[in-house]
Structure 1
Amino acid sequence: MTELDPVIHAPARLRIMTTLAEALEEGDEITFPLLQKLLDMTPGNLTTHLAKLETAGYVESTKTFAGRKPVTLVAITPQGRAAFRAYRTQLLELLGGSR
């Protein structure tokens, strides 16, 4: 049996990956505050989990400005989408279901 990806398997990171994979089209980004609101997570908790996902190459963050205000944008990478699809397939197989 294949082991589930431990980077994605943590509940908070699974929620992040599910939200990004379902809410964003290829190449789209979401602002950090909107993602935080959707997930109902504290800024520190979200930052910690995004850092782990970013280290794995599953998400990327871009810091920019909207006027004079700093904005952080978050996107799922192609590698992250592939890892999430593989995770989902493995989980469904483990549970005895199919896609």
Structure 2
Amino acid sequence: MTETPGREHPRLRLDDSFASPIRFSLMAAMGEDLELDFATLGGILQVSDSALSKAISALEHAGYVQVRKGQVGSRPRTWVHSTTVGRRAFHAHVRALQAIVDFGAGGADAP
């Protein structure tokens, strides 16, 4: 194994909170300043309620999303909104993914 002095591999900048494809997709679906209800998110992501609930809980625990509960008429409803911290972390994760691609494509010459 060869090391490039003074350079860390970009994979070290990945955020484990987004290691799950569902959590990654959820953050991507949230956009910059979008609040979505649970049912809409489930439809977009094409996941079970249980899987979505677990993903939301993990991201909420990390401080990356906020959950708001309420009612529409007599029906309970849950809305999810990404936080500023969550959006920044997600964008940093995406930049790290791109850096991995660039690193691999450029080998030792990549920035």
Provide the TM-score with structure 1 as the length reference: 0.87
Aligned-CA RMSD value: 1.3
Q: Specify the SS of the correspondent of 1:96.
A: helix
Residue 45 (structure 2) aligns with = 39
Residue 7 (structure 1) aligns with = 17
Residue 51 (structure 1) aligns with = 57
**What CA deviation, in whole Å up to 9, does each residue of 1:39-84 have, x standing for no partner?**
1000001001110000000011110011211110011111110001
Aligned mates of 1:88, 1:36 — CA distance in 2: 22
Aligned mates of 1:36, 1:96 — CA distance in 2: 33
Alignment of 1:21-36 (within 5 A): 21=31, 25-26=32-33, 28-36=34-42
Residue 102 (structure 2) aligns with = 96
Q: 1:64 aligns with which of 52, 67, 70?
A: 70
Q: Percent identity of the aligned residues?
A: 31
**What CA deviation, in whole Å up to 9, does each residue of 1:5-59 have, x standing for no partner?**
01112211111111112xxx42x31110010001100000100111000000001
Aligned length: 93
Q: Specify the SS of the correspondent of 1:41.
A: coil
